[in-house]
Amino acid sequence: MLALVTGASKGIGNAIAKALANEGIDLVINSRSIHDLELLKTEILTLHPNIHIDIFRADLSVANEVDDLIDFIIQKNLYLDILVNNAGIYQPGMIIDGPDGFLEQMMNTNFYSIFRLTRGLLPKLIRQKSGYIFNMCSVAGLDPYPGGSLYCISKFALQGFSRCLREELKSTGIKVSTIYPGATWSDSWKGVNLPMERLMQANDVAQVIISSLKMSPSAVMEEIILRPQLGDL
């Protein structure tokens, strides 16, 4: 099996790539940092030397670079089993006074890149008559919260896209799951004075994907909400 994981160098994407490798699944890993991708590849191959890993550096907020990633998958004639749309960014900001350009930046990364990448790979998946698409949304795509309106808008857009995609692909053999993680530990939380029990671990999210992959062909987890046991921050 082969999985494409975007935003794979850190946090949830990093944990997902490692969890898939633990299952013996080959990988195409993507992020904006070639250095971080090389580190991840080395780390995985140290534990799983038989896994095949391709690296593709691209900033998916840039449409041409999304197209380059699509071309890479198609031209290598790779049989793609799993697409994990995980790349995303967060910037605080409200509608009333959020800095100009913040919404556009988050929409480009958190929504348009996923729309463009998925649509570009769909003909291949449909020809295969199989595949699993995971869209990494957020609880911010379910309920707005103070100070995060612009981010929430981008995640609400992704939620709508993912629900529509699921509906369109029901008869194709391609599964679609939308994952809504709450606060999850990553490097972005370093220096924040919070007890660790207030945050989920990235591997908690990764294991949901592994569990989903082990379901029968006739079942799919359409939407998966994960929150810290103590609730949202």
Residues annotated as catalytic (active site), given as ranges: 151
Query: What is the C-alpha to C-alpha distance for residues 186 and 224, in angstroms, rounded to an integer?
Result: 20
Query: Which of 133, 125, 225 lies closest to 182, judged by CA?
Result: 225
Q: Which two tokens stand for residue 20?
A: 């898939």
Beta bridge partners, 75, equal none
Query: Which of 2, 6, 137, 135 lies closest to 66, judged by CA?
Result: 6
For residues 3 and 26, is the Cβ–Cβ distance under 8 A? Answer: yes
The position carrying tokens 């679609």 is 176
